[in-house]
């Protein structure tokens, strides 16, 4: 566990006020940003709390008992989240991912899922509603989530060995309970299930093959995520990043792989299938193979701030509009104006920074606040 945690400067307060557009622009279902990327994917953080302390996301030294978590009154209600989501859907969003913190800590989240499941895309289709969880509560909740209208889950799991798991997540939580959560989600029909493993060189990279062997042939899609300089507190260093190309080569030596085409535009994972047809893996390479050119993702924080990039340093505060005397058309127009001005591409820019440069000098908002 690296001891280089950087003290927190609260970025949550940094946000731009939104001026209501003088002219209401009706939503057309197709909204491009300044780089021509269509808005298709909305990630909604429903809580800033978590019961894990992953070192790359919520280091315990910073997110301790004195950390100023958001009071419940500051959070958007389920009705407010659904109203905001409806405007994004009118602009062409087809996929909603619920995140956190740990989203299953938000009480009655099934109610929100039910409300979102009633929404329809501009083509009249059901939305693709998914959720990213650390799996700690999944065994208990899987069936209720499915019954409420959730289609799929992604589970974060950084190793099979309890000692390694503890080294990455800093909690005494048994891996077996997460694996049982994955089984319960499969039994409930929340598949195909994706498992995300953040790979940190020198900490859990020796777990790559054990994880691949474990999930091969189970229908679960295992994805390896390059360790990222998200937020400003995880003490990120480039020499702890294991490039995805090395991950694939490492697996290839024992388990032959063939490259697969992307499943959808804007997909973050590069797909590799097992040559024997027994399943696939993915690699998500924000550090060494940036994928900003077709990034179609917006992020809504748990208190209603809109972020245009995972590595953003400030958001756009929608809450005054949501709680103010604003029509849906005005809210949709405000969102349109923000997205159309978007030119974020941090990972591409990071690549142009000198290798030892930790960042572009801007303090980024914490991933636990806007969701991964
Ligand atoms: S760095 Fe930002 S713009 Fe690039 S892929 Fe990630 S979220 Fe999208």
Digit-coded pLDDT (tens) for 315-372: 999 999 999 989 999 999 999 999 999 999 999 998 776 655 555 566 789 999 998 7
Is the whole-model pTM more than 0.85? yes
Task: Measure 292 CA to ligand 1 centroid, in angstroms.
Answer: 5
- Biggest alpha carbon–alpha carbon distance for the chain: 61
H helices of the chain, in order, are: 78-90, 109-117, 138-148, 162-169, 175-188, 208-215, 244-252, 319-323, 328-340, 346-352, 367-370
Is the CB–ligand 1 distance for residue 165 below 6 Å? no
Give the model confidence (pLDDT) of 180-227 as tens digits.
999 999 999 998 999 999 999 999 999 999 999 999 999 999 999 999
Report the nearest-CA residue for atom 4 of ligand 1.
292
pLDDT over 50 (residue 2): no
2: its two tokens: 């690296």
Question: CB count, 10 Å around CB of 114?
Answer: 16
In a domain, 17, yes or no: no
Report the nearest-CA residue for atom 5 of ligand 1.
292
Helix (H, G, I), strand (E, B) or coil at 352: helix
In a domain, 320, yes or no: yes
Phi-psi region of 272 (alpha: psi -120 to 50; beta: other; left: phi over 0): beta
Q: Which domain holds residue 225?
A: 28-370
Task: Measure 348 CA to ligand 1 centroid, in angstroms.
Answer: 8
pLDDT over 80 (residue 11): no
Query: Cβ neighbours of residue 24 under 8 Å, at least 6 residues apart?
Result: 327, 329, 330, 333
Task: Measure 277 CA to ligand 1 centroid, in angstroms.
Answer: 31
Domain count, the chain: 1
Give the model confidence (pLDDT) of 291-301 as tens digits.
999 999 999 99
Instruction: State residue 263's pLDDT score.
Output: 84
User: What's the mean pLDDT when you consider all of the chain?
Assistant: 92
User: Would strands 280-284 and 270-274 be described as parallel, antiparallel, or unpaired?
Assistant: antiparallel
Is the CB–ligand 1 distance for residue 347 below 6 Å? yes
The more confidently predicted of residues 232 and 130 is 130
198: its two tokens: 């953040």
In a domain, 10, yes or no: no
- Rounded CA gap, 118 and 150, in Å? 11
In a domain, 111, yes or no: yes
In a domain, 9, yes or no: no
Instruction: State residue 23's pLDDT score.
Output: 78
Average pLDDT over residues 261-280: 92
In a domain, 19, yes or no: no
In a domain, 225, yes or no: yes
Instruction: State residue 198's pLDDT score.
Output: 97
In a domain, 167, yes or no: yes
Packed helices 175-188 and 138-148: angle between N→C axes, nearest 10 degrees: 20
Task: Measure 175 CA to ligand 1 centroid, in angstroms.
Answer: 30
Specify the CATH number for the domain of residue 92: 3.20.20.70
Is the CB–ligand 1 distance for residue 295 below 6 Å? yes
- Tell me which residue has tokens 């701030």: 305
Burial class (CB in 10 A: 0-12, 13-18, 19+), 230: buried
Instruction: Please state the atom number of ligand 1 nearest to the C-alpha of residue 350.
Output: 1
């Amino acid at each position: 566990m690296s001891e280089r945690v950087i003290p927190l400067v609260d970025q949550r307060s940094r946000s731009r006020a939104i001026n209501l557009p003088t002219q209401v622009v009706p939503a057309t279902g197709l909204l491009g940003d300044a780089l021509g990327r269509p808005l298709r994917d909305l990630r909604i953080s429903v809580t800033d709390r978590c019961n894990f302390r992953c070192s790359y996301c919520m280091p315990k030294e910073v997110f301790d008992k004195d950390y100023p978590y958001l009071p419940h009154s500051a959070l958007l209600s389920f009705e407010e989240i659904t109203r905001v989501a409806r405007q994004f859907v009118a602009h062409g969003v087809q996929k909603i991912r619920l995140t956190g913190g740990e989203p299953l800590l938000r009480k009655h989240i099934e109610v929100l899922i039910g409300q979102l499941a009633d929404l329809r895309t501009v083509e009249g289709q059901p939305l693709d509603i998914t959720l990213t969880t650390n799996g700690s509560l999944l065994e208990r909740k899987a069936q209720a989530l499915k019954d409420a209208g959730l289609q799929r889950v992604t589970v974060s799991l950084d190793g099979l060995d309890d000692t390694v798991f503890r080294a990455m997540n800093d909690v005494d939580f048994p891996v077996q309970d997460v694996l049982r959560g994955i089984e319960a989600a499969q039994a409930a029909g929340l598949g195909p299930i994706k498992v995300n493993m953040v790979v940190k060189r020198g900490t859990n990279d020796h777990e790559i093959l054990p994880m691949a062997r474990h999930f091969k042939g189970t229908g679960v899609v295992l994805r390896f995520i390059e360790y990222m300089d998200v937020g400003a507190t995880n003490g990120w260093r480039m020499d702890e990043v294991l490039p995805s190309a090395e991950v694939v080569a490492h697996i290839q030596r024992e388990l032959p792989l063939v490259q697969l085409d992307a499943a959808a535009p804007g997909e973050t994972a590069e797909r590799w299938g097992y040559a024997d047809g027994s399943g696939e893996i993915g690699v998500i390479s924000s550090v060494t193979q940036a994928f900003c050119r077709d990034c179609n993702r917006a992020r809504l924080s748990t208190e209603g701030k809109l972020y245009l990039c995972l590595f953003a340093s400030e958001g756009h505060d929608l809450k005054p509009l949501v709680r103010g005397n604003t029509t849906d058309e005005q809210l949709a127009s405000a969102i349109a104006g923000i997205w159309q001005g978007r030119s974020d591409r941090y990972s591409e820019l990071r690549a142009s920074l000198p290798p030892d440069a930790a960042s572009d000098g801007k303090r980024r908002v914490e991933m636990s606040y806007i969701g991964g």
